[in-house]
Amino acid sequence: MSMLVTRNALRAQVRPAFARTFASSQASQAQSLKERLEELIPKEIENVKSVREKYGSKSFGENTVDQMYGGMRGLKGLIWEGSVLDAEEGIRFRGLTIPECQKQLPTAPGGSEPLPEGLFWLLLTGEVPTKEQVDVLSQEWAARAEIPKFVEELIDRCPNTLHPMSQFSLAVTALNHDSAFAKAYSNGVHKREYWKTTFEDSMDLIAKLPNVAGRIFRNVFGDGKLPAIDQNKDYSANLAHLLGYGDNEKFVELMRLYITIHSDHEGGNVSAHTGHLVGSALSDPFLSYAAALNGLAGPLHGLANQEVLRWVQKMRSQIGENASDEQVSEYVWSTLKGGQVVPGYGHAVLRKTDPRYTAQREFALKHLPDDPLFKLVGQIYKLVPDILLKAGKAKNPWPNVDAHSGVLLTYYGLHQQDFYTVLFGVSRAFGVVSQLIWDRALGMPLERPKSFSTAHIKKMFEGK
């Protein structure tokens, strides 16, 4: 036990020293992300003060009883800096649409999809980084990627029958053992400094996720042997490498697109809101994001992508390849008449085709236009909206992001559907932790909305 304590204490001393040395060695190349935040945070604090002074008494409108019973749909009650979702336009990351991100964010040499490192910089700063800044961020994440030995052992001890998302959440929770924020808070750091150790934890968290996810994948679906992180590769290339697909550049490009478009979808979705809520109690980023992962694991959230693929594959097995529009329509109607939903269609906010679906469709048209499963997904896209409108089943009959992602992963050989939500989890960390950093920088308070009982609702409105 004493040797373990000594080793952990030494690791705790070496890690921040290494991070300082790494940051110092890169200073001559480009301004670091943390240095840029040092400049931006005081300005944004003043901006928030100004907004509250001018508009603090303004009302967004009254809440309705239906909203309270309906999962708070449409209830305006959160501040989320990284992205805003418009019902008609779709998602914007700090004002940029997905096509604009694809055009403006740095790419890898020979690639065309945006590097997630650039998207993270954008989410935190509102600025498009240079390729040099993104390269430094890639190197820093690779340098921080090692996970503690006890976390490796924890993952290795999990039975193969434990769902990969459960293992993922377990491992992320255990990473809080070395939380810089938890240590600083225990030592009485001033609240104005909370964001700095939250930033360090967030950088560590994102950096370590490929090793955590890769180890789970290799244990459950492979031989348990995990290659090392390549210090000279970008984040997505390393993730693909750890999963065993690093030699397929098209799959690496898919990972760059996948992480970017799955990273953030404003603050009201279950995973984002959970991370923000738990973080508001000053739980460190590891604990906050582990909670977010448990929400993402639900079938109405991140688990939906594998449900879509299973439905599409079941359809193909029953009606065969190259089925007619009439056969596909009949299968969709049989799904609805059986009391089930058509998975991958409809969205709580969007009232048009999800731009994330469109981005994946364009990727498929470019790289796998003749894939039979992709063709079937395109056929479904052509037929399902009209069927749902006729059935009166959806205010938004258009496909969401989950309607397409599984088909792309399957095409490149990643058939392990239980792992799909883990990839979603790696991606969603970018949005959740970037908001956690700003929550601490802006001094956002403990979240505590008011609730009422059904009996109290009746008392409030009966006879009025």
**Catalytic residue numbers?**
301, 347, 402
**Is the CB of residue 436 less than 8 Å from the CB of residue 285?**
yes
Q: Quickly tell me which residue has 């901006």 as its tokens.
A: 47
What are the backbone dihedrals phi and psi of residue 152, each rounded to the nearest 5 degrees, phi first?
A: -60, -45
57 three-class SS = coil
Fill in the DSSP letter of residue 406.
H
Determine the residue type at 402.
D
Using CA of residue 149, residue 151, residue 156, residue 157, what is the dihedral sign?
positive
Q: Which residues are within 8 A (CB) of 130 and not within 5 positions of it... i.e. 6 or more apart?
A: 30, 106
- DSSP string for residues in 3-56: HHHHHHHHHHHHHHHHHHHHHHHHTTTS--HHHHHHHHHHHHHHHHHHHHHHHT
Structure tokens that stand for 114 in this block: 């945006």
Distance of CA 268 to the CA centre of its chain: 13
